[in-house]
């Protein structure tokens, strides 16, 4: 091996630095490319988060007052602003149960999706895909 084939003593780290920078650049490109949400996905996530928030509020109200509240009660309107945007059906039976069904045409195709949440589980159920 001659002097031209071996890296300079202070430059042995240079290929590793180049490799690290290349991997970081590829990771950034991947994050930018694959983390974009469409408007439909963003609105769906917001709707489902609102339903989860409603479930938590209902369970908390049950623990404090011994009954569920009606989500269309004006006292709770400031906390549930998303309900003004969609078609919401709320069924309540006081102490026993609550059920909220939301219909929304988020993607604008004319066919509304249907979501439901009730006291049995904090999991939002999609009854019909949008």
For residue range 45-81, what is the model confidence (pLDDT) as tens digits? 999 999 999 999 999 999 999 989 888 889 888 989 9
Give ∠ CA 93-96-101 in degrees, rounded to 5. 55
For residue range 75-112, what is the model confidence (pLDDT) as tens digits? 888 989 989 899 999 887 667 888 999 999 998 898 99
6 secondary structure, DSSP code: S
* CB distance 58 to 125 below 8 Å: no
Q: Helix, strand, coil % (nearest 5) of the chain? A: 45, 20, 30
More confident of the two residues 19 and 11: 19
């Amino acid at each position: 091996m001659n002097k031209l084939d071996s890296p300079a003593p202070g430059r042995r780290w240079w290929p590793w630095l180049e490799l690290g920078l290349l991997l970081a650049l590829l990771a950034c490109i991947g994050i930018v490319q694959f983390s974009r949400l469409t408007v439909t996905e963003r609105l769906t996530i917001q709707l489902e988060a609102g339903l989860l928030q409603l479930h938590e509020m209902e369970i908390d109200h049950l623990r404090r007052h011994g009954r569920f509240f009606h989500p269309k009660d004006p006292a709770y309107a400031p906390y549930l602003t998303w309900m003004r945007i969609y078609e919401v059906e709320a069924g309540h039976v006081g102490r026993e149960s609550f059920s909220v069904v939301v219909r929304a045409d988020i993607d604008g195709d004319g066919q509304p999706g249907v979501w439901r949440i009730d006291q049995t589980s904090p999991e939002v159920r999609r009854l019909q895909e949008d």
